[in-house]
Chains A and B, each alone.
Chain A
Amino acid sequence: MTAAAPSKLASMRQAIGEHVPSGSSVLIGAALEQMIPFSAGHEIIRQGRRDLTLVGPISDMLFDQMIGAGCVSRVMAAWVGNASAGVGYCFRRAVEHAIPNAIETVDYTNFTMAMALHAAALGVPFLPTYAALGSDLVKSNANLVEFASPVNEDRLIAARALRPDAAIVAVQRADTFGNSHLWGNLGVAIDGARASRKVIVVAEEIVAPEVIASDPNRTLIPGLFVTAVVHEPWGGHPSPVQGYYGRDHAFFAEYHEQSRKEEDFQGWLENWVLKVPSRADYLKRLGDSRTAGLRVREHAFSAPADFGF
């Protein structure tokens, strides 16, 4: 490769505007409770997207917000709620009372969701697993199909390949082509990116290609999979980004209280999403003292690896 690769840098507004239309299926929050791209979800809400299918194993609060904002008609997930506080009230209102609209739920388990994305990443129509045998999930999810093993006497579940229209994945650092370094627990982020038709990377930092090439084992999402790169520091708040900031536990608890009633949730949405045009404005609203308290207090750098020859 001689010519410089073309830059895929985009603002969050551009990236969502161009690649996440109403009606699409979106994988978001693939690393479970770490590195959830809340800023992307909030931009989707501001742009008034409707009829989305949300895909992800565990959604720690972001799915709840997008459901409450009326963006969603279907959820394909293993768990929807608020991990440290409890249930997701908007999710409950939508499923139980069609507020603000009815949603369809397609229930997975974490492992069957991971297998479905892995199948798409491998380019095969399904993968077999023993997980979910005997569970009522299988009765209601047409993408989990029991079958007899062709090579022994076992019964298995076929997890049908799941290919979202777009994956939005938070990473620590990327170059402008989208080659991404990420570390910490990864959940289904890598398979999710490989499985999806488009990938939006939300990076805490943009770095030179030399930084990426210095540690190719950490390039867990190669740029060839990536459609757009958004530079958005603190894009994951209130979820943590390893090495950048911690989890804002209080924010999750506050949201839990403020989403309990529908009218309170509308106030929360106005205050933290609709009246906040950008992540920079969001950070102003959050305040310096709050972000200061979440910064890494004690760094723990890895030992360098020698790629010399």
Chain B
Amino acid sequence: MVAAAAREIRDGELVFVGMRLPMIAFALAKRTHAPRATGLFENGIIRETPAPALLYTMGDPPNVCKATFCGDMISVMSLLQQGRVNVGFLGAAEVDRFGNLNTTWGRRDGQPVRLPGSGGACDIACLAQRTVVILAHDPQRLVARVGHITSPGNGNGRGWRRAQGLPALSGPSAIITTMGVLRFGEDGEAYLASIHPGIRVEEVLGNTGWALRVAGDLTLTPEPSEGELAVIREIDPNRFWTKT
């Protein structure tokens, strides 16, 4: 999942990194195929170099030390609003068939569960050129329709984002799960584009909360290379973020 996420970053891009696994994915991309990618953090950090130690949060001192820029939130998040940010990474409790994210209200055993909220996720989902979502693949998380749109994807389909006033060059690009990679069709709906090694298509469909379409040219997600695995182990030696 981390390796697949890292491959969404192209060299030279401005990347809104976010929390948790994307921090590892960004560090991996920097050390492999995208050494000139720039990391943006909503707390006010811009980094050209990977942080010199494992990050538990974006505000950890190693992320500040030898950063390119440290300042306030608006200095960095305004890059999103200018349309300059190529890709942003997000986690979510729930994502639906149109890539809308919910991190505000979940459900457990039929009862509403209050989740932490947007943070910067809604801002990134609204304004980054491409949004990549990372989450575990189960039917409680990949749902037909989110109960609450914290961070907008394609709303109810093609044309919805523009109707809301969101930028033309913005929106969901991929959903990377523990089973595969989903991408979005012209109609704004997600389809299965690639499947991770060892996973069957039926498993993916059985663990998705809607009738997921499968690409005619479904591919196999490339295994992480030895080099990628070595870098992940170096970045997260005690597997705090990369347990699974």
- Which residues of A pack against B, CB within 8 Å? 31-34, 57-58, 60, 77-81, 83-84, 87-88, 91-92, 95-96, 105, 107-112, 114-115, 118, 129-137, 146, 154-156, 183-191, 239-240, 242-243, 246-247, 249, 252, 296, 300
Contact = CB atoms under 8 A, between A and B. Distances in A.
Interface string B52-75: 000011111101111000111110
Contacts of B233: none
B123 A84 contact: no
Interface in B145-192: 148-152, 155, 160-161, 164-167
B115 interface: yes
Nearest to B125: A135
* Interface size band for B: 35 or more
25 contacts: A60-B57, A60-B59, A81-B116, A83-B19, A87-B115, A88-B116, A96-B114, A107-B104, A109-B118, A130-B81, A134-B149, A134-B152, A134-B160, A135-B149, A136-B149, A137-B118, A137-B122, A155-B165, A156-B165, A187-B43, A187-B72, A240-B61, A243-B61, A249-B56, A296-B61
B104 A240 contact: no
Contact of A185 (B44, B74, B116): B44
B77 interface: yes
A137 B160 CA distance: 17
Nearest to A136: B149
Contacts of B119: 57-58, 78-79, 109-110
Contact of A118 (B42, B56, B74): B74
Most buried by B among A95, A134, A154: A134
Contacts of A135: 118, 122, 126, 149-152
A296 B65 CA distance: 11
A118 B63 CA distance: 25
A188 B72 contact: yes
A117 to B, nearest CB: 9
B117 interface: yes
B81 A131 contact: yes
Contacts of A92: 113-114
Given A33-B59, A185-B44, A96 B113 contact: yes
B127 interface: yes
B237 to A, nearest CB: 14
A131 B126 contact: yes
A87 B59 contact: no
Given A87-B115, A240-B59, 9 more contacts: A31-B59, A79-B117, A81-B116, A91-B116, A132-B123, A134-B161, A135-B126, A186-B73, A187-B44
B80 interface: yes
A154 B64 CA distance: 36
A8 to B, nearest CB: 24
Contacts of A136: 104, 148-150
A110 B120 contact: yes
B72 A186 contact: yes
Contacts of B166: 130, 133-134
Contacts of B151: 135
Contacts of B165: 130, 133-134, 146, 154-156
B150 A186 contact: no
Contacts of B150: 135-137
B112 interface: yes
A79 B118 contact: yes
